[in-house]
Amino acid sequence: MRDEQDRTTRYQEGSLTLPGTVMLGTGVMIGAGIFALTGQMAQMTGVLFPLSFLAAAVIVSFSAYSYIKISNAYPSAGGIGMYLHKAYGNRLPTAFNALLMYFSMVIAQSFLARTFGSYTMQLFGGDESGRMVPILGVSLIIAAFLINLLGNRMIQGVASFIGILKIGGILIFGLVGVWVADSISVDFSSPGEAGTMGNFLGATALGILAFKGFTTITNSGSEVIDPKRNVGRAIIISIAACVVIYTLVGFAVASNLSLAEIIETQDYSLAAAARPALGEYAVWFTVAIAMMATAGGILASIFAVSRMLAMLTEMKLVPHRHFGMPGSIQKHTLVYTVVLGIILTAFFDLSRIAALGIVFYLIMDIAIHWGVLRYLRKDIKANVWVPATAILLDLLALGGFVWVKLNTDPFVIGVAVGAMIVIAVGEQIFLKRSAGIEPPEGGHSHHHHH
The 10s digit of each residue's pLDDT in 134-148 is 899 999 899 888 877
29: helix, strand or coil = helix
Cα–Cα distance measured from residue 394 to residue 383, given in angstroms and rounded to the nearest whole number: 18
Q: Do 156 and 19 form a contact (C-beta atoms < 8 A)? A: no
Q: Torsions phi, psi of 224, nearest 5?
A: -85, 140
Position with higher pLDDT, 235 vs 223 = 235
pLDDT-derived band at 100 (thresholds 50, 70, 90) equals very high
- pLDDT digits 0-9 by tens, 333-370: 888 888 888 988 888 777 788 888 899 999 999 999 99
Model pTM above 0.75: yes
Helix (H) or strand (E) holding 72: helix 49-73
224: helix, strand or coil = strand
pLDDT at position 6 over 50: no
Q: Do 350 and 197 form a contact (C-beta atoms < 8 A)? A: no
pLDDT at position 2 over 50: no
Cα–Cα distance measured from residue 21 to residue 2, given in angstroms and rounded to the nearest whole number: 11
Domains of the chain: 18-434 (1.20.1740.10)
pLDDT at position 184 over 80: no
Cα–Cα distance measured from residue 376 to residue 396, given in angstroms and rounded to the nearest whole number: 24
Helix (H) or strand (E) holding 117: helix 92-120
Asked which of 187-191, 193-197, 322-326 is least confident by mean pLDDT, the reply is 187-191
Read off the amino acid at residue 139: S
Cα–Cα distance measured from residue 67 to residue 234, given in angstroms and rounded to the nearest whole number: 12
Cα–Cα distance measured from residue 34 to residue 269, given in angstroms and rounded to the nearest whole number: 9
- pLDDT digits 0-9 by tens, 193-208: 555 888 899 889 988 9
Q: Do 408 and 422 form a contact (C-beta atoms < 8 A)? A: no
pLDDT at position 419 over 60: yes
Read off the amino acid at residue 364: M
* Residue from 204, 182, 231 nearest 22 by CA: 231
Tally the residues of the chain. Answer: 450
